[in-house]
Structure 1
């Protein structure tokens, strides 16, 4: 292209958004009875223009508030296609449904030049939703020029009715209601201003931004019906992300195969392209190879619905072709907020079609634009995934690494957003996937979107990132190790979207034991006995594999063993008929490790792996089974139990010697006890059991007794207590198994406090 001069006015942009409308009968609104996202064949698009009134010596322009026929997209254009406007261009519109005027919407007047065939320059088109009123104001900022370009006008677009994307209004040629302060509206078929001559492509080695094809003739701006669609594929219902096997616009020869899979693409017929308005043959990159991908936003409202997206694409197409007189829509691909991909410029989605999207670098790049503006907020995840998938596919056709650097030849002198300047023919290094702002002084694709390009590069190139085993279910975690006695479910996560993952593999000790889909986040597996390393491997669509850090899983099917069977013994403490003090003891072991021991009857309790005994209470005269279960870390269970009966032998059951007096009180077992202050007086009990406890009454004046077991003296027991106690088990003795035993007490005759009082003997049988 010729080196383009820059218009001296600088202008910026603002604009209020019309609300999204959802009733039938208005252009751009969803059909409540249809969920079809794509139509078959062309859709009528109506365009209208009206000149702006200039004032202040050409430093401002305006269009007063007025009624219009319905439209959904607008832009401001001017006669010189080489001019850039960097001041303030603002519009506001009236919503058809509510009659409410929007806030002022700032239009982007400095988004970059189009192609050599352009006869007008203009802002980016803005989607405002179904509207029937408009107001425009334009002010030059005076930084490089004090006047606006000539021929400045408002362009309005009704994108028409698509069979599945919207229910439109049948529109007759629309005209504005005239206002005295502005010129009359016109329904034009070509720009009113003189068109600049076509610009020839520069000689090699400098690439051209335009293919060497003939210029398009001027085309009517009214609806034109085409006899046949450009392709036969259809787009899916709104509930579907994309068609399963779409058919692209036919190309003369098929494009090269790619290292990445082709995503679903809605063809031009799917969004209703009227091919009669862009009859010129497509052009292809001079070198026949895509070196880089330029990412854009359309710098318009984000309030469109996904059902309206085809209408938005049609509007952009009509604006580029009918208003700016480009040969076709500028972008190679467009993506809506739901992630649906639309074929842009014709020529075959699988071929290196030259677009008009990155001035100076169109000859070596393909352009992908996301519908909406992303200065403050990034696009949806679905949209960014689709951008990365398209980029991976197109770059994969030519063996280009999405995370690499491309050297591009500048087709013209320029300056980018970061104030880096270059001369025509300069060799410049770009990230292979880069933002429009890297090659032109524009905010596109918006700061928030630009900050996400590193993620898009990573997704497109692979491998899968952030892959980690998040948990293992069907197993018990202990100290960072999982223990299982059966099949496990390995759960994982990654930061790479599932759309880029071909499959997942579960590895046990490095060997694949299970395979799952790329969209899966878990899979079942089995591990043999012993300790094993478990990992997940994710295979990216490029074939690159990433493997998670390992987790240790121990397979264990052996239950714990009670090496010491549960046993009960009497313990010291206060006794009553329903609460006889007992101690339950056990010892459980496991080759891998005991997790816990659980008492399941006659009551429930859980004990840690190192606990081997616990106090309990039994019921006098009642046989009770005490059941224990030991669990290891894998959940294996070993069980054991013991049954016992606490029995009371009152003092009357003993053989007496010496002098004993009977004492009565309700505090004694059976209401009475024996008391003696006579030295060597004795009581002897005989029983068959495995544990015994001497029960006494105690006071500050109580004396001592000698205790004999099976004829052998084993202890001297002092009954003295600072507080009075009744039914106190003061001494106990246990044996490994039940057998016949005798327990004998003998009064010591302690000086000053010789008296002892006994309340019987408890034993376990």
Structure 2
């Protein structure tokens, strides 16, 4: 709900209007005045959709009581923007104005919607200006219903000349020519004499000499104007880009350079402004001390492809309905971040706008298209507002995050109740909301709450900068390790469009520079320890640097101080799964990352792990391959081959009495059993690890184990449950050699029997 007031308001010169093509006019309760704004081009669009000019329809409101005026549901020509206006530019409408519209495509009526009528009064009202609500964008519609009620529903008087104003933004730019759509329109003529088409001109409207439009008392007839062969010849629009500043003169300012880049701005020509509507020369301030942020109210559901139409509709409303000499805002921004040139005169000059009552003389106005009372503006919109604000303030050396003293041009109060006295100075934020200068909710509570973000983004430095990862490295604790080539990746909360560049720092020196849209940079580090950081340079020149990260570049591979070794361990023995322990030891000159088993199966172990319980197939030579990795990405492999061998009881040398037992539970289907004290079995083999395999039960006894003729252990085979093929005792040597293992029955009292299932060794 932005308010436009300025000394720069001027009524338009009145022109004769004539029907140019066949079509129906707006019909409804009250008189009708219909006029069209010439399109910059009368050519058909490349895609086939015919261009048509902007059209403005004015329908008078009627009522039988003093406190209410209305327009019943009324069929209309196509329009997309609606407002209510009245006679008397400084007259307030103490009450409510509501509209309903019928969607052109849906054919459905909307709910009642309030029009914002508490608007800024003109600072210097002139003949022909009208009081008006804020225009409301409703999208393509062809029906309207209006009611205006005095405050609290009383019968107090309402302003005279109440009418509803409908704007069809037309099809003007090449980008909008997407579908064929015939339209009837009225064009303005400067000639004082009527042409042969004047017979189709509505006769129920009058054009007072003071520049206002007096509503007629009767409805127009429903007869459509007769067809003619007249072809519309729209007035040519300005062809030069409005973004180019006028040449400096004795009364016109020059365009000072800004401390920040100019953002891309859609010129008036590009959004389809008909420059014949605003023939008066631009007026200028001495400088730009502050920026006031507005919203335009209306729907947020417009598509960004429609944004030019929205801007064009506001322009026509300000000129045709309010009677101003131009659009009120200096700039407009849509929800996708597109910036539109507003009031003409040169975007780089301090053009006097009409946006904030009492403070237009020292400021510029930026309006965000849409309603932001309870809905937050998009980051794209905020970024563009910040860019425009920073650029304009930068022309005059002002910090967007700072404050400034502004001289009030009117005596009034703002939305917070602060009183201003004309001629006195007051402190404002360099980037302020409309409500800071005038008693209005604009730019809406949500957008107002986002102004600190806009200030921060506009002034810098870059916010939320952090390194998210360093590719080509691995981290251990707080240190990163690499072989040399790295890519730093980062994020920031400040939009990229406000960032000049990023710099990758190594040991405090810049080694890579990227654009403000980049999110990564690469470099190769020399061997040794370094620090890396990312520095963001805001368009203002202010910098932010991340905390330094410690990075070690090294190319030395880890070493295996103990190569992979296989030893037998206790557990259940099968021919395909002999329980073994794989052992190793790896080290690195900086930081070992992991050790991986590559074959005969795969596994990954931590750097401190030196063994793992595995199984191996008996009778088969198997290669055990491992790889040690450091955090830098260097690695070394080591391999060794081992063969587990099962020696059955029959291969042992017997002494004493032994009985053969048969069962599928035994290795090879057979085992030896003896309860004779002193009975022995001796195996001889060449290997590096051995395990005695037995069967166990509650009645199992004990046995002595001798290695190379020396008694080394007494083994008890007793078990609470029956177990078969159990490696119950193991022995490992530092290298492979010839050994003998002998077991001797102890003859344990009450349970003398032992059952042996063989011996396993590794060669």
- TM-score interval for Structure 1 and Structure 2 normalised by the shorter chain: 0.7 to 0.9
In structure 1, the partner of 2:270 is 270
Which structure 1 segments of 5+ residues have no match?
4-26, 175-182, 196-222, 234-245
- Within-5 A mapping of 1:368-379: 368-379=366-377
Distance 2:209 2:156 in 1: 28
Determine if the alignment matches structure 1 residue 46 to structure 2 residue 55: yes
Match of 1:113 among 111, 121, 137: 121
Whether the aligned pair in 1 keeps the contact of 2:45 and 2:174 (CA below 8 Å) is no
Distance 1:661 1:193 in 2: 128
In structure 1, the partner of 2:471 is 473
- CA, structure 1 residues 667+78, in 2 after alignment: closer, same or farther (shift >3 Å)? closer
Whether the aligned pair in 2 keeps the contact of 1:50 and 1:186 (CA below 8 Å) is no
In structure 1, the partner of 2:147 is 137
In structure 2, the partner of 1:760 is 758
- Within-5 A mapping of 1:260-659: 260-285=260-285, 288-659=286-657
- CA, structure 1 residues 328+145, in 2 after alignment: closer, same or farther (shift >3 Å)? farther
- What secondary structure does 1:84 align onto? coil
User: Residues 707-747 of structure 1: CA distance to partner in whole angstroms, max 9, x if unpaired?
Assistant: 32223232233334444444333322211111112223344
Which has the higher mean CA deviation after the structures are superposed, 185-194 or 486-495? 185-194
Whether the aligned pair in 2 keeps the contact of 1:248 and 1:265 (CA below 8 Å) is no
Task: State the Cα distance separating 1:259 from its structure 2 match.
Answer: 0.3
In structure 2, the partner of 1:156 is 166
In structure 2, the partner of 1:84 is 92
Distance 1:190 1:166 in 2: 37
Distance 2:698 2:117 in 1: 104
Task: State the Cα distance separating 1:551 from its structure 2 match.
Answer: 3.3
Whether the aligned pair in 1 keeps the contact of 2:6 and 2:360 (CA below 8 Å) is no
User: Residues 540-584 of structure 1: CA distance to partner in whole angstroms, max 9, x if unpaired?
Assistant: 111111112333334343332221111111222332322222221
- CA, structure 1 residues 350+576, in 2 after alignment: closer, same or farther (shift >3 Å)? closer
User: Residues 410-453 of structure 1: CA distance to partner in whole angstroms, max 9, x if unpaired?
Assistant: 11101111111122112111111111111111111111111111
Task: State the Cα distance separating 1:470 from its structure 2 match.
Answer: 1.8
- CA, structure 1 residues 145+187, in 2 after alignment: closer, same or farther (shift >3 Å)? same
- CA, structure 1 residues 359+667, in 2 after alignment: closer, same or farther (shift >3 Å)? closer
Q: TM-score, normalised by structure 2?
A: 0.83
- CA, structure 1 residues 295+143, in 2 after alignment: closer, same or farther (shift >3 Å)? farther
Whether the aligned pair in 1 keeps the contact of 2:90 and 2:125 (CA below 8 Å) is no
User: Residues 123-160 of structure 1: CA distance to partner in whole angstroms, max 9, x if unpaired?
Assistant: 12222333333222111116999322222222233333
Q: TM-score, normalised by structure 1?
A: 0.82
Task: State the Cα distance separating 1:115 from its structure 2 match.
Answer: 4.8
Report how many residues are paired: 686
- CA, structure 1 residues 707+128, in 2 after alignment: closer, same or farther (shift >3 Å)? closer
Distance 2:663 2:566 in 1: 31
Aligned-residue CA RMSD in angstroms?
3.2
Task: State the Cα distance separating 1:354 from its structure 2 match.
Answer: 0.7
Distance 1:224 1:138 in 2: 38
Whether the aligned pair in 1 keeps the contact of 2:702 and 2:717 (CA below 8 Å) is yes
Which structure 2 segments of 5+ residues have no match?
8-38, 188-201, 215-231
In structure 2, the partner of 1:237 is none
In structure 2, the partner of 1:186 is 205
Whether the aligned pair in 1 keeps the contact of 2:6 and 2:122 (CA below 8 Å) is no
- What secondary structure does 2:387 align onto? helix
Whether the aligned pair in 2 keeps the contact of 1:89 and 1:139 (CA below 8 Å) is yes
Distance 1:727 1:478 in 2: 45
Distance 1:731 1:543 in 2: 76
- What secondary structure does 1:307 align onto? helix
- CA, structure 1 residues 736+75, in 2 after alignment: closer, same or farther (shift >3 Å)? same
User: Residues 254-284 of structure 1: CA distance to partner in whole angstroms, max 9, x if unpaired?
Assistant: 4000001011122222222222222221111
Whether the aligned pair in 1 keeps the contact of 2:244 and 2:347 (CA below 8 Å) is no
Whether the aligned pair in 1 keeps the contact of 2:291 and 2:363 (CA below 8 Å) is yes
Distance 2:385 2:602 in 1: 59
In structure 1, the partner of 2:31 is none
In structure 1, the partner of 2:68 is 60
Task: State the Cα distance separating 1:753 from its structure 2 match.
Answer: 4.4
In structure 2, the partner of 1:99 is 107
Whether the aligned pair in 2 keeps the contact of 1:230 and 1:268 (CA below 8 Å) is no
In structure 2, the partner of 1:695 is 693
Which has the higher mean CA deviation after the structures are superposed, 750-759 or 388-397? 750-759
Which has the higher mean CA deviation after the structures are superposed, 540-549 or 653-662? 653-662
User: Residues 22-46 of structure 1: CA distance to partner in whole angstroms, max 9, x if unpaired?
Assistant: xxxxx9xxx9976999x9xxx8433
